[in-house]
Amino acid sequence: MSFSFSKKLFILVCIVVLLLIVLPLFYIVKSSFSKFGSYAYTVNEKQIKSMSSFYLSRIAQEHAEKYDEIFKKIEVVSSLMGRQAESIYLNLDALSRVPLKGALNLESNRENKIFFSPRHETVITLYWGGNKILNAVEKELCALSNFKSILIKSKELVNESLATYVITASGIGLYYTRNLKAESACYNLPPSSEFDLRDGEPVTVFTKSKIKFYDTKWTGIYKSDAIDGLMMTASTPIYGKNGEFKGITGIDIPVDYIIDELTQSAFISGNKNETILFAFLQNKEGKIIAFPSEFMELFGLNMDLSRVKNSSDIISLSLKDSSIRAVRMIAPDIMNSHHGIIKLVINNEKYLLAIGCLNSVDWHLVLVAGQAGMIVSLNKTRAALEKSLGTIWKDFLVYSLVVMVIFAVLLLCVIKIEKGHTLELENRIRLRTMELEKSNKELKNNKNEQNKIIAERTAQLKRLNEHIVFTEEGERKAIASDLHDSVTQTLAMSISKLKNLSESDKIITESELLVIQEYLDLSLREIRSLIYQLSPPILDDFDIDIALGFLIEETNAKYHSHFHYINNIEDRVLLDQALKVTLYRAVNELLTNILKHSGTRNGEVEVSKNKEKIIVRVEDKGAGFDINIVKATDSFGFGLHSLAERMENLGGKIQLESEPGKGTIIHLTAPVLQCNDKEYEKS
């Protein structure tokens, strides 16, 4: 096919114009692509580092809260053991007369001169305080035999522990463990002339201090006398009637267990989070509690275990002892931080240290992560981007030829493209219509949900109104009954006495007037009691924890019950007045329910609080009930459903735990006001 000169010239001009359009456009695209890649790399790098820091900080805090609960539980159990042991010493004479079977069945070991109980005994009993067991020691052994069950129960409560035990100042030891190696070690202790357990860290943490401690203390890390490895102990002192030191109760926690737990929780073994290398634990003085041995060299630390032999040898190691200056420099920052991220550079490698605080023991949990691992994927993306740019240049000629062909066919495709555009527009309209229909359906569903919530609230308000009417009527009947049974009878007797005296010709004596006065005083006290029940003034003058204490004392005195009150609150409790009254009434109703329905007059009430809420636990060991049945058939007579609604309306809630024959536990939670004392008093 031949073309005229004009056609050839036209084709040439079209090709030149096309090249003049394609080449600059291609260069602009390539330059923009390169600049965009660099910008995206920089932005993503900052974002990944920021998100990684936030993620690590959150993980550290979550794990710190988890271990805080574990160590708090251990402290509580150790403290309870100490208090129980003190009660034994306070009642030593009585308890020594009712020992457990085999309390004095001890045999002397010729090698170490220590008296031991038989190996079949569950709790090992030892005595190394002398060559003979004197009468005073026998008395103490008999009384302490009643403590064995507490050691067993405490060990069951603290699964993380190696053992629970008692060491007395007189040289008596009670030891319970399920570890066969630790149990065997008890029967092979060195003679007391070489090492006395009373010189070990769990005891000397109290005896070497000039300050007299009463609370549970954590020991430093020391060499275990029972197993290979290091140990730390939650130790609680025992004092006698006159405040003399009688010994300690302890719960042993192996350091290897803590390290294993930290390793697993940091996802090292499972490799679920490749950026986290390891985790370690240190106390408020900066002393290391648990640190994986395989990473000590990385941080320039060296733990020399050759010099430790027994529980009197304490391991004292901190980041300040590191041979690396950068590690020593961050040690104060970790001690002074409760949360956050600290950066560390070792041998040109960057690390992030995420800190979480264990508030109950004031320790620090530190997660160590390599920063390089966080941006590996970003570096791969950058390399791929550079490779793509090279490929673009190589493919330029091929793409240019393709563009020429496409340009030649372009006119033929315009109509088809236009038609395709029309179809695409129709599809978009159809998709948009479907989205609108879906949104309309969601709006209808939301409206139905709102109507359902309104109906539920209306029913709830109706039930509350019925309960108020029912309660008011009940209060009126109760007041009328109390007035009739007490005040009315007393006043009637007073009037009768006065009438008899007025009709009598005898001279009124002072004793007769005193009798009438006593009746009137009794009436006045009964009226005041009724007024107190209607509106307890203690709620206006004291915080809720004090008011609940008075309520329990009054209930115990009035009904001869035995409700034990535990108040864990030390500072002020700022509550809305309506919530305060409701919480007081709720506890009163629950105590009444226990007396009426549980079949027991014993129970326990515990109150505690955190930054956001107050928690009241009411527990009894009575008959219990089936929660599902009560929820289905609850009436105003029992009042739990109504009580739950009243609590929920004021932002609180109620939780039930009960089974027939196993007693009942009820938790009441309510929000505290987030304001200072001046604002609270003003409101």
For the stretch 103-123, pLDDT in tens is 888 898 888 889 999 988 999
Q: Note whether 230 and 83 are same-domain residues.
A: yes
**H-assigned helices in 91-104:** 92-96
Q: Note whether 566 and 522 are same-domain residues.
A: no
* 117-to-16, 150, 152, 230 alpha-carbon distances in Å: 107, 18, 16, 27
Token duo for residue 128: 């190394």
Q: Report yes or no on 514 lying in a domain.
A: yes
| Average pLDDT of the residues in 502-511 | 75
| Average pLDDT of the residues in 281-306 | 83
- Is it the case that residue 636 has pLDDT exceeding 50? no
**H-assigned helices in 395-534:** 396-482, 489-503, 510-534
Confidence band, pLDDT 50/70/90 cuts, at residue 338: confident
Q: Note whether 220 and 320 are same-domain residues.
A: no
In this prediction, residue 268 carries a pLDDT of 44
More confident residue, 61 or 633: 61
Q: Report yes or no on 28 lying in a domain.
A: no
The total of structural domains in the chain comes to 4
Q: Which of 221, 251, 281 is the last residue of a domain?
A: 251
Q: Note whether 279 and 240 are same-domain residues.
A: no
Assess contact for 248 and 169: CB atoms under 8 A.
no
For the stretch 356-372, pLDDT in tens is 888 887 888 888 888 77
In this prediction, residue 530 carries a pLDDT of 67
- Is it the case that residue 665 has pLDDT exceeding 70? yes
- Is it the case that residue 680 has pLDDT exceeding 50? yes
Domain that holds residue 237: 72-251
Residues in contact with 411: Cβ distance below 8 Å, sequence separation at least 6, in sequence order: none
* DSSP structure class, residue 76: H
Confidence band, pLDDT 50/70/90 cuts, at residue 617: very high
d(CA 677, CA 680): 5
Instruction: Give me the long-range contacts of 278-282 (CB less than 8 A, separation at least 24).
Output: 278/367, 278/368, 279/63, 279/365, 279/366, 279/367, 279/368, 280/365, 280/366, 280/368, 281/67, 281/363, 281/364, 281/365, 281/366, 282/318, 282/319, 282/334, 282/335, 282/363, 282/364, 282/366
Q: Note whether 564 and 457 are same-domain residues.
A: no
In this prediction, residue 536 carries a pLDDT of 72
Token duo for residue 89: 């010493």
For the stretch 61-86, pLDDT in tens is 888 888 889 889 999 999 999 999 99
Match 């805090």 to its residue by tokens. 61
In this prediction, residue 124 carries a pLDDT of 93
Token duo for residue 453: 């919530």
Q: Note whether 89 and 228 are same-domain residues.
A: yes
Among the residue ranges 60-74, 180-194, 250-264, 603-617, the one predicted with the least confidence is 250-264
d(CA 487, CA 525): 9
Q: If you average pLDDT over each of 171-180, 202-211, 377-386, 448-457, which comes out highest?
A: 171-180
In this prediction, residue 143 carries a pLDDT of 92
Confidence band, pLDDT 50/70/90 cuts, at residue 427: confident
Q: Report yes or no on 667 lying in a domain.
A: yes
Q: 604 has which bridge partners?
A: 564, 619
| Average pLDDT of the residues in 463-488 | 65
Assess contact for 177 and 162: CB atoms under 8 A.
yes
In this prediction, residue 605 carries a pLDDT of 94
Provide the pairing of β-strand 602-609 with 562-567.
parallel
Strand arrangement, sheet containing 664-671: 562-567, 602-609, 613-620, 664-671, 653-658
Q: Report yes or no on 53 lying in a domain.
A: no
In this prediction, residue 273 carries a pLDDT of 47
